[in-house]
Structure 1
Amino acid sequence: MSTASGPTRIGVRIREQRRLAHLTQRQLAQRLPYSYSLLNQVECGAREASSSFVSAVAGALGIDITLLTDSEAVTSAQRDRLAAMVSPIRDALDRYDLPAGGVPGGAPLPQLVAEADAACRQVRATRLRAASRVLPTLITGLTREVQLRPRTDAWKALASVYRTAHDITVKVGYTDLAGVALDRMGWAAERASDPCLAAVRHYKRALVRQERRDLGTCLIEAGRSLLDGDTSKEALVVAGQLHLGAVVVAARAGDRAAVADHLGEAHSLADRVGGEAAEVHWLSFGHTNIALHALGARIRMRQWDEALVEARAIRLGSGTLTSRRARYLVDRAQVEMETGHTTAALQHLMEARRVAPEQTRHLPGTRVTVSGLVHTMRRPPEELAHLATWVGR
């Protein structure tokens, strides 16, 4: 979505909608009681659009005027649906320290643990709404369990569902609530006396605050210090994932040397782990995941030519998580778009939508790529118009 404001923003949106309608400026001007020159100046931001002009453009294009004047109104229905999905999770997080005596008896602990694992699997399969429906009950049930029978496995399961709450809320853009979920995860992990869980929390926190390199780096280092001297497979996987978190932080800062160093450390740990570790704290650590992070780093540092080579070299196996596959497809689409391969970019975006619609819609790269394609494709195809509407442009 365009970050322009005022007259420039309206001009940009008029241009986008005109191109989606397959009209040139002159063709649109012929439908308006205004000159071609005025339309041209409004689109480039040199002139402010009057309310009557915007109304006339909307009428000529056959669209709702809010598509040109109020980008927030376009996505209000989406926001309402997300708020309804997230609100019960927020309530469950708020009740973490309240007495659970009035809560009716729930499922036994083994069932709650199995359901917590199932919710995590649903998130990894990008079934966010399905996971969100069961999560509040799981949080409440496990909170009751640790209050009445505080055992290590109960605290671990509670930390796990808090982590799932983070994963859902951060994917749909509720970063403030994602931070609360991580605080709750840390609270439960401390009581579970599980350094690996605590380290995973530091990794997640670093990603949420990646724009602050000093803070992100401190969080990564704090996570690594928790694992000092532990050579178990679990610790090696978590340590490797912490290095990948450091890759994200360093790439955001444009530090290519640090990115290369952390990728090298991650590869060394992956060699020690052997194969892809998909079931260790649900991290999916291995050489494939490292390659995906390397691609993400290229994108953040705007190294488009190198990113294109790496994106086209990646081969995802049939067992690749749906969430990883969707993220790769969106990254690949952005790289193809930035290097001028617009048809390939659109194809990869459409495939990402097919594979994981819930996740793809909310990935920032989706909006960036859709916007770029609208501006660069000479005749935006109908599929792109549908995508633009779908993401709320």
Structure 2
Amino acid sequence: MHALTPQNTGARIARARKLRRLSQRELASLSAVSYSTLTKVEQDRLPASPSVLGALARALSMPVEDLTGQPYIEDLQADALDGLIHPIREAMNLYDVGVDVEVRPRPLGELADQAEALCAEVRATNIKKVAAELPSLIIDATAIAHTETSDRAWQVLASSYRTAYDVTAKLGYLDLCTVALDRLDWAAHRASDPILSSMRQYMRALAYLRSADYATGKRLIAMGQRILEQAPAGRERDVIAGQLHLGASVLAGRDKDKDKAEHNLFEADRLAKATGPAEKVHWLSFGPLNVAVHKTSVLAELDDYQGAVDSGQKIKLPDTWPRSRSAHHHAEMARSLMWTGRAEGAFKALQEARRLAPQQTRYHPTVRETYAHLDAQKRRLPETFAGYGAWLGR
């Protein structure tokens, strides 16, 4: 059972505050969140935005997931997903024990193909399938990396750790995400691959974004950019450089630094025009469309929800675009539509996110916060609204 048992974020925040023996005004002062916002969030009259959650978690000296309730264990159990996490953890724990004589790994080429296929499956949001297949890939890739010690073998192992990061992040096991990123860095160094090392810094920066430590996140982006300078010039390097700028733009937006957010979006757009659509380059979904989607997200982070709605409604997502990214965009749009008073539009966006990526959407904290606020508004919404809440476990 989770440390904080209440079923909504506001109640978890209130309980954590009381355990710390803080008044609402004291917590508001410590977190730099307005007293009015804090009281409304605790009363479930206002959704807790990611920036507010991060600020409160830092002031309370606790992980953000303790306030969001992640991982959503009961729902994971209902979906038979919780039992798939421990084998991933065990497989990653074997990273440095050397060759296991009882393991007969598959050929490196076969493992490389599976690693690439699982990356694609994550983008298609087939999370349960990936989680089930991943432990055997990590075990075999670990064995062959220690046996062959070739750059290619270490790269395949690094790719398997990257997929472990993706799966655990989407299911809310944020502590295990950190382990996966450490393993990714360990394998990337042995592969002498600056591309993988810089990608790892980008992903680490996102972890610090979630915890509202924007200064550290920005330092990690800068470190990733320095590491990337060691990679040969070309399209692959440009894609990673562009993705680093997109990460920096979201960090700046969450930190309410509009100028830096716009600068990084400009640089990402410049690189995207050079690379063109590059969704399959390390499966980062980079390209002009991803820049446009990030612009919408950044506007929301800057609390310009009307601007985010206007920007997002101009975007046409093709059916061929990765479902994971499309669903995330619709979840972000739902939040902005809700904040601008468009309850029905927000619910339609939540429904579209579910249609595209049900497993990912079900465990997305922004989706749950948005739904909770729509429910609290008591607006007239379709009969399917209650069914959506039951699906989310509310």
The aligned counterpart of 1:270 is 272
Q: What SS does the aligned partner of 2:228 have?
A: coil
Kindly indicate whether residue 289 of structure 2 is the aligned counterpart of residue 318 of structure 1: no
What amino acid maps onto 1:250 in structure 2? A
| The one of 3, 9, 24 aligned to 2:9 | 3
For 1:152-163, what aligned pairs fall within 5 Å after superposition?
152-163=151-162
Task: Measure the CA separation in 2 of the matches of 1:216 and 1:76.
Answer: 28
CA contact (8 A) 2:343 2:379 kept: no
CA contact (8 A) 1:103 1:144 kept: no
Asked whether 1:218 is paired with 2:219, we answer yes
Q: Which letter maps to 1:136? A: P
| 8 Å Cα contact 2:73/2:82 also seen in 1 | no
Q: How does 1:7-156 map to 2 (within 5 A)?
A: 76-80=73-77, 81-156=80-155
Alpha-carbon offset, residue 8 of structure 1:
8.3
The TM-score with structure 1 as length reference comes to: 0.80
Deviation track 1:41-79 (CA, whole Å, cap 9, x = no partner) reads xx979xxxxxxxxxxxxxxxxxxxxxxxxx97xx55324
The residue type equivalent to 1:386 in the other structure is G
Q: Contact 2:103–2:143 at 8 Å: present in 1 too?
A: no
Query: 1:209·1:216 contact (CA, 8 Å) conserved in 2?
Result: yes
Q: Residue 87 of structure 2 aligns to which amino acid in structure 1?
A: P
The higher radius of gyration belongs to 1
Q: CA 1:79 to 1:113, structure 2 compared with 1: closer, same or farther past 3 Å? A: same
Secondary structure of 1:4's counterpart equals: helix
Q: 1:96 to 1:76 in 2, by over 3 A?
A: closer
Flag the 1:78–1:214 CA change in 2: closer, same or farther, 3 A: same
- State the alpha-carbon separation in 2 of the partners of residues 125 and 103 from structure 1: 34
Look up the match of 2:257: 255
- CA distance 1:104–1:289, shift in 2 (3 Å): same
What RMSD in Å do the two structures reach over aligned CA positions? 2.3
Aligned-residue identity in percent: 39
Counterpart of 1:324, as a letter, is: R
Separation in 2 of the partners of 1:215 and 1:44? 32
**Given residue 246 of structure 1, which amino acid in structure 2 is its aligned partner?**
A
**Contact 1:374–1:380 (8 Å) recurs in 2:** no
Distance 1:310 1:111 in 2: 43
- Gap regions ≥5 residues in structure 2: 1-6, 16-41, 45-67
1-structure distance, mates of 2:347, 2:110:
43
Partner of 2:205: 206
- Output the CA distance in 1 between the equivalents of 2:12 and 2:110: 54
Per-residue CA deviation, residues 199-252 of structure 1 (Å, 9 max, x unaligned), is: 100000000111212211111011111122742111111000000110121111
Which ranges in structure 1 are unaligned for 5 or more consecutive residues?
A: 10-42, 46-70
Change (3 A) 1:265 1:3: same
1:226 counterpart SS class: helix
List aligned pairs for 1:377-392, cutoff 5 A: 377-392=378-393
Q: CA deviation at 1:282?
A: 1.2
